[in-house]
Amino acid sequence: MALIYPIILCGGSGTRLWPISRKSMPKQFVQLVGEQTLFQQACGRCTGANFAPPIIITSSDYRFIAAQQLAELGIKPTAILLEPEGKNTAPAILAAARYLQDHDSDALMVVMSSDHAIPDEAAFTKMIEASIMPASGGNILTFGIHPDRPEVGYGYIEYEESSDSDFAIPVRAFHEKPDLERAQAMLNSGRYLWNAGIFMAASQTFLDAGLLLVPDMMQMVEKAVAGMTGDLDFLRLEATSWSAIIADSVDYALMEKADNILVVKFAGSWLDLGDWQAVKHQLAHGVDDVDASGNLIKGNTVQIDTENSLLWSAVEGQALVAAGVSNIVAVAMSDAVLVADLSKTQSVKKAVELLKIEQISQAEQHARDWRPWGWFESLVIAQGYQVKRLHVYPGGRLSLQSHKHRSEHWVVTDGHATIQIEDKEFTLEVNQSTYIEVGQKHRLSNHTDKPLTIIEVQTGSYLGEDDIIRYEDSYKR
């Protein structure tokens, strides 16, 4: 039997969930619902004898985040493909299909976004396994969700009223996000499903569709895959061919044009966490606390005379208080706060655009900056000095480097650090410290199986991140 390869798309920035989701750390890599990130949930959703390890398609910016979160699950992916630039979903899916055909010509693909919430993973996996036969027969399967409300934020799938099969049903048409009146009519008719954006077919079936329906795109995808180059554990698609592709979604490029589309109804819970209202809806049906006034409360938060609101203190030590309000979303982080009417959360994306126009760094950057070795965050920034917290993963290592304009003082607060300064190497434990003078070559490593935390005090005339001279390897600080 052909193996099913989960294809996980995770290149989006998710600005409607600002400030928790930002370009530097988008929603798919954040723990929004459950004990894992949405990306980790997607990667672990399809496992078992019928499934191969996933293929991840992301950008260079997120390659180390994706690799680290996979490692936390103990998953070694089939491949991580890096897009030189975002081209929407159609080229990404065709690139995965082309790659698979070169490695497993009988492969089946199930394509999933990395930012959906599907609580009943066992039911989802069972549905995918039941779809093997129709997907192996030259069809492209899409998966639809029974609507329970007139939702205007989702696309819809209209299916044939009569069919020889009650499992995989021919699709009549795809419909864009409707207005409320149209959404209500669709719900009342009983012939429409929410478009979950999940697809399944043989890799060759996707390639055949690409050659027939978008031949110019397919030609450039073929060249980009043929010209891929390795970079550590990643595969970079060839940039010149990829840049020539006209971006398009799989819905427009393939699904709305192909004549071999079948829809499978999924009766389980599914949610596209596209905005804060969707997050509140999902959390309210999970394990998180909803109080007697309908408020969903997370973190260090209290409320007085507040109703039907999402109140989230997203960082430890940040207190959030709500008094006398209703139907709002309030999300507090150390460097940014969002307050919005619950019915207007789609406008958050516009607010982020305004922040970008004003060149406010919080529009895209988190207080934490992720690196292949871990992350760091600035705790205090002032004239002539800066205090940072560095978190180094087990086995993590920074590059050998020096600085022209600053000195650094490191204090270990958790774990064991291995320090190299010039030709001298030594270890530090909790409450021990060292000093690095301007111009000295130095390196920080964590050779243990536990995380390492360092408080770094920088002093000097210039403290920018570009004041780094690296002497070896590609692990960047």
Q: What is the pLDDT of residues 416-434, one digit of tens each?
A: 999 999 999 999 999 999 9
pLDDT, residue 289, reads 67
- How far is residue 429 CA from its own chain's centroid? 35
Contact criterion met (CB below 8 Å) for 280 and 269: no
Domains assigned to the chain:
4-272 (3.90.550.10), 276-357 (no CATH), 368-470 (2.60.120.10)
pLDDT, residue 69, reads 92
Q: Residue 466 — very low, low, confident or very high, per pLDDT cuts 50/70/90?
A: confident
pLDDT, residue 477, reads 44
Instruction: Sort residue 267 into left (φ over 0), alpha (ψ -120 to 50) or beta.
Output: alpha
The number of residues in the chain equals 477
Largest CA distance in the chain: 77
Question: Which two structure tokens, joined as six digits, stand for 149?
Answer: 């409300």
Q: Cα(475)–Cα(374) distance, rounded to whole angstroms?
A: 11
Of the candidates 393, 314, 334, which has an alpha carbon nearest to the alpha carbon of residue 65? 393
CB-side exposure of 439: number of CA atoms within 13 Å? 0
- How far is residue 405 CA from its own chain's centroid? 36
Q: Cα(71)–Cα(125) distance, rounded to whole angstroms?
A: 22
φ/ψ (deg, to 5) at 185? -65, -40
pLDDT at residue 191 above 90? no
Of the candidates 358, 308, 354, which has an alpha carbon nearest to the alpha carbon of residue 330? 308
Q: Residue 352 — very low, low, confident or very high, per pLDDT cuts 50/70/90?
A: very high
Helix (H) or strand (E) holding 155: none
Q: What is the pLDDT of residues 2-14, one digit of tens each?
A: 899 999 999 877 7
Task: Work out the average pLDDT over 231-235.
Answer: 89
pLDDT, residue 475, reads 43
The least confident of 173-187, 209-223, 380-394 is 173-187
Q: Cα(256)–Cα(246) distance, rounded to whole angstroms?
A: 17
Of the candidates 175, 183, 112, 171, which has an alpha carbon nearest to the alpha carbon of residue 147? 183
Task: Work out the average pLDDT over 193-208.
Answer: 94
pLDDT at residue 90 above 90? yes
pLDDT, residue 420, reads 96
Residues in a beta bridge with 8: 56, 112
Residue that is written with structure tokens 């009650």 in the block? 166
Residues in a beta bridge with 374: 371, 392
Q: Residue 165 — very low, low, confident or very high, per pLDDT cuts 50/70/90?
A: low
Q: Cα(418)–Cα(410) distance, rounded to whole angstroms?
A: 12
Neighbours of 3 (CB within 10 A): 15
| Cα torsion angle, 366, 369, 371, 373, sign | negative
Contact criterion met (CB below 8 Å) for 277 and 342: yes
pLDDT at residue 473 above 80? no
Taking the model in full, what pTM does it have? 0.85
Q: Cα(377)–Cα(476) distance, rounded to whole angstroms?
A: 15
The least confident of 141-155, 246-260, 325-339 is 141-155
φ/ψ (deg, to 5) at 165? -120, 140
27: helix, strand or coil: helix
260: helix, strand or coil: coil
Q: Cα(61)–Cα(254) distance, rounded to whole angstroms?
A: 28
Task: Work out the average pLDDT over 197-206.
Answer: 94
Of the candidates 354, 255, 280, which has an alpha carbon nearest to the alpha carbon of residue 17? 280
pLDDT, residue 45, reads 87
Task: Work out the average pLDDT over 64-75.
Answer: 91
User: Between vectors from CA 321 to CA 317 and to CA 327, what angle results, nearest 5°?
Assistant: 125
User: Between vectors from CA 342 to CA 338 and to CA 348, what angle results, nearest 5°?
Assistant: 45
Task: Work out the average pLDDT over 62-75.
Answer: 91
Q: What is the pLDDT of residues 140-153, one digit of tens each?
A: 999 998 888 888 88
Mean pLDDT (the chain) is: 90
The DSSP string of 282-332 is HHHTTTS-B-TTS-EEESSEEEES-BS-EEEE-STT--EEEES-BSEEEEE
pLDDT at residue 79 above 80? yes
Bridge-based pairing state of the strands 469-470 and 442-445 = unpaired
pLDDT, residue 247, reads 94
